[in-house]
């Protein structure tokens, strides 16, 4: 966990919000927190990663599918199925359109 937090801190110091690598680092730290059951820490990180991706990538970019899926997993694990389903559906739709970004 420490290495991901260090990488995130470094990227926050050196990258601007329009750089998708910052969103990747946030997603990674959030994913570790989710895996550890720290949903209250992970959820806002996924949301922030999505905001940063929205700044740096087109709205239909397949890279958005990862934090959407991960956020859906949190909602599912918390029994918030009504919030999980749209996340999964959006992630699937983005991956289905994943032609031309490769």
Residue 69's pLDDT band (cuts 50, 70, 90):
very high
Among 50, 93, 48, 44, CA closest to 68: 50
Residue 101's pLDDT band (cuts 50, 70, 90):
low
The CATH architecture of the domain made up of 2-96 is Alpha Horseshoe (1.25)
Give SS3 for 6: helix
Per-residue pLDDT tens over the stretch 41-59: 999 999 999 999 989 899 9
Considering all CA atoms of the chain, what is the largest pairwise distance in Å, rounded to the nearest integer?
Answer: 37
Domain ranges of the chain: 2-96
What average pLDDT does this structure show over 82-101? 88
């Amino acid at each position: 966990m420490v290495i991901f937090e260090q990488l995130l801190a470094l990227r926050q110091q050196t990258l601007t919000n329009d750089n998708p690598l910052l969103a990747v680092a946030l997603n990674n730290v959030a994913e570790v927190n989710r895996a550890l059951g720290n949903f209250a820490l992970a959820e806002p990180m996924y949301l922030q990663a999505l905001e940063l991706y929205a700044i740096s990538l087109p709205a239909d970019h397949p890279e958005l599918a990862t934090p959407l899926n991960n956020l859906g997993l949190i909602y599912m694990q918390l029994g918030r199925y009504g919030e999980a389903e749209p996340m999964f559906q959006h992630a699937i739709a983005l991956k289905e359109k994943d032609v031309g970004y490769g």
